[in-house]
Copies of this chain bind each other. A is one copy, B any other.
Amino acid sequence: MKGVLLAIAIAIIPVSTTLAADDLPGEAAPTNVPGAHYPRILPDHRAMFRLEAPEAHSVVVEIYGQTYPMKKDADGVWSVTTPPLVVGFHYYSLILDGVHVNDPGSQTFYGTGIDSSGVEVPEPGVDYYHRQDVPHGDVRIRLYHSKVTEKWRRTFIYTPPGYDEHIDKRYPVLYLEHGSNENETGWTFLGHANLILDNLIAEKKAVPMIVVMNNVYAHRPGQTGSAPQIKSPLRPDFPAFEAVMLQDVIPMIDATFRTIPDRDHRAIAGLSMGSNAALRVGTGNLDKFAYIGGFSGGMNGLHTEPLDPAAAFDGRFKDAAAFNAKVKLLWLGMGTVEPAPFPAAIGLFRKMLDEAGIHYTFYSSPGTAHEWLTWRRDLHQFAPILFK
């Protein structure tokens, strides 16, 4: 029966594993499925892609709208080496005879609205988001019933190392939101929020905290559409998500985890669309949150019209003295190579804050794009300031 075993094994192993890894340049991307040698990352951050497709007429790699046509060799193997890529994580597709498909060599990650291929270009000399030899917290997958949406929802919850052992200890909570067309899995599987916290806690740079990673998409019964409602740049407008946070998530977390259930021990932050959501929910509920973070997003979505601090967002920024006295931290971050319209939109949001006299911290992430490495850096900068 050995033939059967072997036949099954051959059928399932991606073609790239048939090459000897030692002879290949660079390193297999850390985002590959186990055993897949392609895509590969070269020391200068060029990426090599490869697909065996002798019958195909055209194969193109597409990374965030940029296309790299592949060339076929005599054996029917298509390949391309990109110019140096920005460090960090990039969703990508292969366009195979006109159809966007996943690369069989890549793991998939929920983003761009599908389970998508992704390639990580490692940042040299950095280990703050790697799994290190330190105590690790758990990430819990939890189902909860929402009174707001009248549906079951899922959330990922990080508990820090020691949470189960120190049964008399109570913890502050950071609520962390994902971006557009992503979901509650992103901050764990792409952001490595759990590893970032594990490492910061081991170094005693951050206090042990619970991190709740929600799904930002929420609709009341009868509402439709795949995106949260963002009706206007001038009014707070994640109403179903805000209600889910206030009526479902925070009470559930405070009832079933050993939290310190007050505003001084509760933070909210998010990325991109989730930054808009976190800033709106946070600044709109200062009785609930003392620490608020926005990673690669203001409260004005992708809009690039000037904002009047006296009128925008229900006037919540017009009394800077009251706001500054109450908010322990308003923190914004952005990568230096983020594409339009993010720099303009976030710039106008900051301009409004400046005009209003609102205190905030701004972090500029050198050389990173509107992608997960920026947000890992944001969390790595933001978490140590919390709850101190």
Whether A302 and B114, one on each chain, are in contact in the complex, defined by CB atoms closer than 8 angstroms, is: no
Indicate if A108 sits at the interface (CB-CB under 8 A): yes
Whether B104 and A188, one on each chain, are in contact in the complex, defined by CB atoms closer than 8 angstroms, is: no
- Nearest-CB distance from A304 to chain B (Å)? 6
Write the A100-132 contact mask toward B (1 if CB under 8 angstroms, else 0): 111010111000111100000000000000010
Q: Which residues of B contact A139 (CB under 8 A)?
A: 140-141
Give this chain's copy count: 2
Residue on B nearest A144 in the bound complex, by CB: B136
Indicate if A14 sits at the interface (CB-CB under 8 A): yes
Indicate if A56 sits at the interface (CB-CB under 8 A): yes
Given the interface pairs A54-B98, A108-B115, the reply to whether A35 lies near B141 with Cβ below 8 Å is no
Task: Give the interface residue-count category, chain A.
Answer: 35 or more
Given the interface pairs A51-B99, A98-B54, A164-B257, the reply to whether A12 lies near B114 with Cβ below 8 Å is yes
CA distance A136 to B142 in the complex (A): 8
Whether B143 and A140, one on each chain, are in contact in the complex, defined by CB atoms closer than 8 angstroms, is: no
Indicate if A58 sits at the interface (CB-CB under 8 A): yes
Whether B102 and A8, one on each chain, are in contact in the complex, defined by CB atoms closer than 8 angstroms, is: no
Whether A99 and B96, one on each chain, are in contact in the complex, defined by CB atoms closer than 8 angstroms, is: yes
Indicate if A4 sits at the interface (CB-CB under 8 A): yes
Interface residue ranges, A against B (CB under 8 Å): 1, 4-5, 8-9, 11-14, 33-35, 51-58, 94, 96-102, 104, 106-108, 112-115, 131, 133, 136, 138-145, 152, 157, 164-165, 167, 180-181, 188, 226-227, 256-257, 301-304, 341, 345
